Structures are given as C-alpha cells and as structure tokens.
Amino acid sequence: MPSKLSLISDDYGRAGRLGPVHVVVAPEHAPPFPVDALAVEEDTHLLLSSDGAIEEPDENFEELIADARDIPANTPGSVLVRKTKPLQFLAIVHDIDCQPTWREEWIASAINGVVEEAEWRRLASLGLPLIGTRHGKVETRRVALWIGRCLSRTSFRYLKRVWIIAPEGSETGLMWALRSEFAGK
C-alpha cells in the first residue's frame, strides 16, 4: 500500500505532506517556519517549565504549605494552554510522585490533546517536540510513531504545518518512521 505521506525530495527526506499538512522533522535550533503554538513537556505541578527564580514569599511557612495542599495537581495526559507568543501547549506527561515519572498512555494522550487543541484554536502551524524524551527516557522513535499515529488519524481543517522537533542527526530516520506509520493507515 502506498504511503499517505509523500516525501518532499528537495528536503533530504526530512519533510513530507499528509493530506493538506506539511510535516517537517527538524532540530530545535533550525525551525523550518514560524509556529502559532509550541508544545512543552511538563509535569503535574508545572515545575519543569518554571523559570527557577526563587523569590522571598510574603506568607509564612505554614501558610505556604496550606496553600500548596489546596492546589490540585494537573491530570497526566492533559494539555494546558499558556497564553504566550507563540502559545505554549503544556503537555502534562510527568508526575514527580511516580517512578518512572511518565507513562506511555500519558504521552500518547497529550500528543492527541496538543493536535486537537491546535485544530480547536484554528491554528495554522504547530511545533511538536518528541514529548517524553526531554525529561523522560522514552525512545525517540517510539514517540515519533505515536505522533505519526495521531497525525494519520486526524482530519485537519486548520492545521497546515507541523514541525516535529527532533535531535539533530535523527531527522531522516524519524521521517521514515513516520512514513511507515502513515503507510499502515
């Protein structure tokens, strides 16, 4: 069966089309186009994306502890939106109270949620890293297959470009992994 993803020959096998969507696999330092939203790997308490700055609190220690208990943890596998430029889609795939901190189903759910959120917001472009590989020890090819599965099952109305952010040197191999996933659908 021929692949639904057609490779673009002048891009060294790192780009292709899936229906109306242009898919490019490129490293973080070489964005192929500007994005409307960028997915970010995150944990249930949003610690991974914090700036790390420590400020002297106004409250005493007991008040801080009581306030922290009242803040519910975010649900693993969900996606939150931070209204920045570009938008940040916080993919909740880690729970620091668990070992390991991630689960495959959380990552797959968050990938689906990121793509759904982009479509719901009528965005034209999305930056999607290999979620679960930055702070977790998930194999990059495995995450690429989950992304491929999600993209191949989505009916796109608004999203026209997806930049899959991959480690430098892995672009062509990951695009071939995506192509094999698209061919099976």
3-class secondary structure, 172: helix
pLDDT of residue 139: 87
> What is the distance between the alpha carbons of residues 169 and 26, in angstroms, rounded to a whole number?
9
Question: Which sign does the torsion angle of CA 161, 121, 103, 46 carry?
Answer: positive
pLDDT of residue 115: 97
Contact 179, 144 (CB under 8 A): no
Tell whether omega for the bond before 72 is within 30 degrees of 0, i.e. cis: no
Q: How large is the average pLDDT for residues 157-179?
A: 90
Predicted confidence band at 15 (pLDDT cuts at 50, 70, 90)?
A: confident
pLDDT of residue 50: 61
Delimit the domains of the chain by residue range: 5-48+62-183
Higher pLDDT, 100 or 17: 100
Higher pLDDT, 81 or 2: 81
pLDDT of residue 10: 43
pLDDT digits (tens, 9 = 90+) for 20-65: 889 999 999 999 999 999 999 999 988 887 655 556 667 666 665 5
pLDDT of residue 107: 95
pLDDT digits (tens, 9 = 90+) for 83-127: 999 999 999 999 988 899 999 999 999 999 999 999 999 999 999
Q: In Å, what is the CA distance from 93 to each residue of 103, 133, 181?
A: 7, 10, 22
Provide the CATH topology of domain 5-48+62-183: Leucine Aminopeptidase, subunit E; domain 1 (3.40.220)
pLDDT of residue 9: 43
pLDDT of residue 138: 85
